[in-house]
Amino acid sequence: MPRKFIPLIAISLILMSLEGAFLNISAFRIENRDKDTIFNEETLNIEAKDKTSHKDHKDKDKEKLKDEKSSDDKFLDLETGFTDDDDLERFGGLEFNFKKSKHLRTFRNFDLNSADKQALKSVKANKNAITSGKGIWVNIWNYPKNVDAFIDRLTDYHIDTVYLQVNRSTTEVFRHQVQIDEILKACKKADIKIIGWSYAYLHDVKADADKFIKPALYVSPEGYSFDAMAADIEENYKVESVKRYTELIKAAVPEDYPLIAIVFSPQIKPVYPWEYIAGNWDILMPMIYWHGIKQRDSQRVATFVADSIHNLRKYTKKDDLNIHMITDGERTTPDEVAISLEVAQKLKVNSGISVYPEHLVPNSVLEVIKDFKA
């Protein structure tokens, strides 16, 4: 073979190798992209969470927390119950509901049909509910840096309850022990109720039950405690897991301890252990979040809220269900929040209202909540 052809052959072989490597990398990326449920620039760069491994290795737990924290939007999506702007449309068939809803007239001249009026006769305001009044939610990634300013803000806007996330399945029982004690003391001194909450994956039911029970029974060094605890049940909601979790908690807390369950909007998760939870937990707190609805207007927001409340009673088969509505403070407007509160009031949401999440809620939205008569 003439020597002048040898360099050309070598270059061709190198190019073929590079092309093969590129195809392998592309296939790998596509394969892993298809395994992910969140398609955006931020989350494609985040290592997928390992939900099946729960070994007690500190380094791994720290790395997992770092991954979850690295995308605040991803964390919020876990807590809100949908992962992107398309999920509302996929899960609930909302386009159909918006067009066909029987439970809504116009939001400004809100009226009820005869069936709704009859059903609501059995609903009574539950002023004794620990969740009554107006509240705001704090997650573990966004504790207030200045507790005094935080309390002042709540007082200025007539917020009477703080819902403080204490832990989740991937953290220790008290994620921020020092800050928890500080916030407990500040809330008690300001006559503000403080209810803890735990985000329970329910892959290790016993461990998650402990993460509810220990904060429920906790007394700080200065003698302060939570008014109640709430469980956020969004990941594993198989009825057998939820039942075991419930039984472990009931066996450990006082008989009259209020059990509060944070649940999906039925428009997002119609298939859910609705009857069991309603029959074994005292108050249900649906996350009625609409910020993922595309091309929304006031009517669509009102319809989503109305159908969420109506179907909550329908799926639980309890017209007199104790409902506390968590309204949407993320990327929503004061007018939308006002509409959600108006609809909730008309449909007799009877155990209070609150807004999530505190660190994203503008004062203009809190102004609406301040004016609302819960």
Q: Is 90-371 in CATH node 1.10.620.20?
A: no
Tokens 């070994």 correspond to 55
Helix (H, G, I), strand (E, B) or coil at 267: coil
Query: Is the preceding omega at residue 266 within 30 degrees of 0, hence cis?
Result: no
Select from 244, 316, 331 the least CA-distant residue to 284: 316
* 62-95 pLDDT tens trace: 444 444 444 333 333 333 333 333 333 333 333 3
The CA-CA-CA angle for residues 350, 356, 357, to 5°, reads 160
Higher model confidence: residue 89 or residue 217?
Answer: 217
**Which pLDDT does position 101 carry in this prediction?**
39
For residues 117 and 111, the answer to whether their CB atoms sit within 8 Å is no
What the block records as the tokens of 159 is 């917020």
Rounded mean pLDDT of 277-294? Answer: 97
| Res 111 pLDDT > 70 | no
Helix (H) or strand (E) holding 251: helix 239-252
Helix (H) or strand (E) holding 355: strand 353-356
Q: How far apart are the first and last CA of the chain?
A: 91
Percent of residues, the chain, with pLDDT higher than 70 = 66
In Å, what is the CA distance from 166 to each residue of 183, 224, 226, 296? Answer: 11, 15, 10, 34
* 185-194 pLDDT tens trace: 999 999 999 9
For residues 147 and 138, the answer to whether their CB atoms sit within 8 Å is no
Max CA distance (Å), the chain: 98
For residues 123 and 320, the answer to whether their CB atoms sit within 8 Å is yes
Tokens 């109720």 correspond to 193
* 14-44 pLDDT tens trace: 555 545 544 444 443 333 433 333 223 332 2
Pick the range with the lowest mean pLDDT from 5-19, 154-168, 340-354: 5-19
pTM of the full structure: 0.73
Higher model confidence: residue 45 or residue 113?
Answer: 113
- Give Cβ neighbours of residue 201 (< 8 Å, ≥ 6 apart): 51, 168, 169, 170, 208, 235, 236
Query: Is the preceding omega at residue 362 within 30 degrees of 0, hence cis?
Result: no
**Which pLDDT does position 88 carry in this prediction?**
38
**Using the 8-state DSSP alphabet, how is residue 147 labeled?**
H
